[in-house]
Amino acid sequence: MMYGVLKGQGARPSYPRGRGERGAALVEFAIILPLILLITFGIIEYSYAFNADSTVAQAARAGGRTASALSQDDTQAEQAAGAVGAALQTLPANEPQLVWIYKVTAPDGSPPDACATDCTSFTWDPVGKKFNTSAPGGSGWKGSSQNICTDGSGGSKPFDLVGVYVKIDHKFITPGLFGPGTFLTDHSVFRLEPKPSSSAICPPHS
């Protein structure tokens, strides 16, 4: 008697998955899921923080450009703070904290430890979404003491530099994973722009 060759002869037979295999898959998924969520939310948090940090940097530069153009102007600090505030409008209203407009004395242009001498500070008003320029802190930097002139000996006395320091309190959207938030800061440094000699006030040089 002849027999036909069975189709697929030699192949391993397949069996339905048992409960043990399904249970192992669920355990593996339960182990991997927290890691996947952590990575996903970490990417989201980093993206938001990177965007906020870029906004702070742009705001510091906007304030620095304004302060530089308003050399020896008594409204320099207020207008610079206004430029910074305008650049921070895309952030949540409760995140911006303060801005300093200061005379640069450090070689690297970094802000002072405290806004005291030749420095003006303003705090943020979250309701009005602007800096409160009616209550400044620090001693201020008088326009009449800002140097935008040479000393008559070939420019050996450099022009003064103005710095703008900005600080915000960035809030995380997943505080349970990464904490409530982090402070983001940045500063910019610009040389005071010269004025026509007829209007420039040149303080005596030491």
In tens, the pLDDT along 139-151 reads 999 998 998 876 5
Does a structural domain hold residue 1? no
How many angstroms separate the CA atoms of 66 and 192, rounded?
Answer: 10
Is position 92 within any domain? yes
In the chain, alpha helices (H): 19-69, 76-87, 175-178
Rounded to 10°, the helix 19-69/76-87 angle is 150
**14 within domain boundaries:** no
- Indicate the pLDDT class of residue 19, thresholds 50, 70 and 90: low
Confidence band (pLDDT; 50, 70, 90) for 158? confident
In a domain, residue 187? The reply is yes
| Sign of the CA dihedral running 58, 66, 100, 131 | negative
Phi/psi of residue 190, nearest 5 degrees: -135, 150
Q: Given the DSSP bridges, would you call strands 130-131 and 181-191 parallel, antiparallel or unpaired?
A: unpaired
**Does a structural domain hold residue 199?**
no
Residue 2 lies in a domain: no
Please measure the distance between the N-terminal and C-terminal CA atoms of the chain and give it in whole angstroms.
121
Domain with 122, as residue range(s), is 26-191
CA 48, 178, 130, 115 torsion: positive or negative? negative
- What is the separation of C-alpha 187 from the centre of its chain, rounded to a whole number of angstroms? 9
Task: Tell me the sheet residues that pair with 189.
Answer: 163
Out of 3-17, 75-89, 148-162, least confident range: 3-17
Instruction: Identify whether 16 is part of a domain.
Output: no
Number of domains the chain contains: 1
* Residue 185 counted as domain residue: yes
